Amino acid sequence: MVSSRYANRLHWLRTLLSHVDSDARESAARLLGIASSALSSSAALNLLSELTSALDPNHPSRFEIYHGLLCATGYVTACCLKESYIPEELVQKVVDILVKVVESEGSTLASLAMESLGHIGLRCVLPSISRNSSAAGVLTVLHERLTKLLSENDTKAIQKILVSLGHISWNELSFSHLKIALDLIFSLARSKVEDVLFASGEALSFIWGEVPVTADVILETNFVSLSQATNFLTGDAPLLDSRNFGKRSSCEEARTTAQDEIINKLFDTLIYSSRKEERCAGTVCLVSLTMYCGRHPKILELLP
């Protein structure tokens, strides 16, 4: 297995986190997360603590190191959550560090921190963040900041943020939090950038639920996007396995309400809008939902 093969090469993988090539850094971070599953619980937690201590309170001065650490933190935390041996207080600490990066850094690093939050969100509901003597959901805390980041012209960062909103919503139990994610996604309905529209469609598919990929596929394979993994329209979407989704039955009510919200937004506002950009966005989102969630009963009801 890949995990056992690389478990004894952690030092080498960690040196690659500062590689000059961004793809190499991200691949090393993914492999580090996979390899950590073959470690003992204490060794994996020590690795995660070392990663977070390099990020807090002072972040690395070199961009490549900062980038690599952010990527690895998300993957390794997700692995520890899968193995169920990470204490809640450490998850809280990691999420708080990543939220602070989103709040304080520019679009590139902020989007990477969001991506890592999304990877953690694939394994658990993100814990609330303490602000001003009160606790609030991550997206509630970051709403204003994310609105600003999504209004900028950094297409790659916007794509990462959009997809991360879908990943964060994967296990979300609260419709109010899902609604914030939906509002942020639909705020880009007038975008003329094709890649942004398709990233919006992918994010909506994760919020809709029951996309035919698992968290393991996303985090532990060479998964890039839903468009490369599944397509109901061409018949190559894997059959849904209800066992993959039973554990999320507790959020069924919030999920159903979110699905209704998506349908209403698409058909009451976007698809029949007088603005060409909104019609285009609505169509892309509907096609994306059909491609990635095409076997869902509500989607089948919408098809002619």
Q: Tokens standing for 49? A: 């603590």
Model pLDDT, residue 5:
74
Q: With cut-offs at 50, 70 and 90, classify the pLDDT of residue 237.
A: low
The least confident of 100-109, 151-160, 189-198, 221-230 is 221-230
pLDDT in tens, 107-159: 999 999 999 999 999 999 999 998 877 889 999 999 999 999 999 999 999 99
Q: How far apart are CA 136 and CA 129, in angstroms?
A: 5
Q: Is the pLDDT of residue 233 over 60?
A: no
Model pLDDT, residue 247:
46
Q: How far apart are CA 169 and CA 204, in angstroms?
A: 10
Q: Going from the N-terminus, what domains does the chain have, and what CATH number goes with each?
A: 87-302 (1.25.10)
